[in-house]
Structure 1
């Protein structure tokens, strides 16, 4: 029996990168998925690659808008009849030093990561409570939220906030059978990370005991674990996927 057989999942930021890897892993394990993303073209291409409307549907969504996030949950209910899993993955970076960062750069990162995650948890919890069948909510934090990174006062603050939010929500929702956990990836290979200057890449690699960057599929495997019954007695946890960096 597939681990997520007949379950319906919403994944924000699902058109590419870690979000898409999670969606693909979920579909492989029997789930139906709603992908939310602001990139409409990539979104539709991703849904088609996952198998089309019978298993995957793309819905444009800006997670800073509660109404648009609610649209993802409505699509899950209308298309697949349930909402069993939410992955709050959507995110952006606007890196700059504390001295040069603009207020807009700070506000935008906080809005997408922190308010976007709050919109997702709040909306999904309401649906899951109504269904009375429990559920799993997975929030993407980051190693930056644990140790802080130069040039990322906005991103580090938001990702640290996601950890606190996850723990608070886990306490509030446990008696409804809704589990809330977080994943904190480290250096994961992607188009964005591979575009960084070689010196910065080498510095980060020197901090990783396992001596390599992670792959999106390795984060997806952890998301699968947290979404499935394999983690049925886990809530309020933060699982680091970092190769041992800053352990």
Structure 2
């Protein structure tokens, strides 16, 4: 990833922070974005202290705002040069089921989990062209492939749509040396998943052949591969990193 420039959304903590850190470890310059400003600034400071000075910056980003996206892309280009890499990681759950999901709740989940990925690509692809090409990793979920049975209707709808958004964009931009892939993480040991009801979490782990949550770095390693030149012939695909959850 030496010389590459990446934006990572939801980058203040959890999976996004792990993704930003592994890209930094492999030589990229990274703009970590979030709406959690305190955590984001603290993460950037920690990465500076860890030896990544001059290659990390934090920017506030509401992924549902086209204006925010334009501002962050312009900032990244000023600070580091044209973008080569985008990780659309930001997301929110939607667990109220068909009947109890409000219109506002449905729209919020779709906006963050699906529209945010589209807006990110729309904003970043012109910068990729200026760099001579690039790679996107969109974040779906195991629930973009299988149903949960726990009322994650809006979430599953958004994450399933991310798969087709990824394929459509991959086909559209392949001839411009722009690759687009998505990942399907299983249960990851993040602050959000630590708040799951204990019986729900236990049930998820019982259905996971490896029998444990993933460390964020394990998912981040898959993202690193898809963004790197080692995946130069990989586009339009879904990489499932779920401990076997969807295999049974």
Q: If the TM-score is normalised by the length of the shorter chain, which range does it land in?
A: over 0.9
Matched, 1:142 2:141: yes
Match of 2:24 among 22, 27, 30: 27
Deviation at 1:214, TM superposition (A): 0.9
The SS at the match of 1:5 is coil
Q: Distance in 1 between matches of 2:45 and 2:191?
A: 21
Moved more, 192-201 or 38-47: 192-201
Match of 1:15 among 12, 16, 27: 12
Q: Distance in 1 between matches of 2:31 and 2:18?
A: 14
Normalised to the residue count of structure 2, the TM-score between the two structures is 0.95
Segments of structure 1 that go 5 or more residues without pairing to the other structure are: none
Deviation at 1:195, TM superposition (A): 2.0
Deviation at 1:97, TM superposition (A): 2.2
Q: Distance in 2 between matches of 1:192 and 1:114?
A: 19
Q: Which residue of 2 aligns with 1:204?
A: 204
Deviation at 1:53, TM superposition (A): 5.8
Q: Distance in 2 between matches of 1:20 and 1:70?
A: 22
Deviation at 1:118, TM superposition (A): 0.3
**Structure 1, residues 52-83: CA drift from partner, whole Å, max 9, x if none?**
76111111110100110122211110000120
Aligned residue pairs, count? 243
Q: Which residue of 1 aligns with 2:225?
A: 225
Deviation at 1:50, TM superposition (A): 1.2
Asked whether the 8 Å contact 1:14–1:36 carries over to 2, the reply is: yes
Deviation at 1:145, TM superposition (A): 0.7
Q: Which residue of 2 aligns with 1:54?
A: 54
**Structure 1, residues 20-43: CA drift from partner, whole Å, max 9, x if none?**
000000000011100111111111
Asked whether the 8 Å contact 2:94–2:153 carries over to 1, the reply is: no
Q: Which residue of 1 aligns with 2:166?
A: 166
Segments of structure 2 that go 5 or more residues without pairing to the other structure are: none
The SS at the match of 2:246 is coil
Q: Which residue of 1 aligns with 2:39?
A: 42
Asked whether the 8 Å contact 2:82–2:130 carries over to 1, the reply is: no
Moved more, 94-103 or 166-175: 94-103
Q: Distance in 2 between matches of 1:246 and 1:182?
A: 16
Deviation at 1:227, TM superposition (A): 0.8
The SS at the match of 1:99 is helix
The SS at the match of 1:6 is coil
Give the CA RMSD over aligned residues.
1.1
Q: Distance in 1 between matches of 2:234 and 2:39?
A: 33
Asked whether the 8 Å contact 2:189–2:213 carries over to 1, the reply is: yes
Q: Distance in 2 between matches of 1:157 and 1:148?
A: 10
Deviation at 1:128, TM superposition (A): 1.2
Normalised to the residue count of structure 1, the TM-score between the two structures is 0.95
Moved more, 5-14 or 163-172: 5-14
Q: Distance in 2 between matches of 1:78 and 1:88?
A: 21
Deviation at 1:130, TM superposition (A): 3.3
Matches within 5 A, 1:53-202: 54-131=54-131, 133-149=132-148, 150-202=150-202
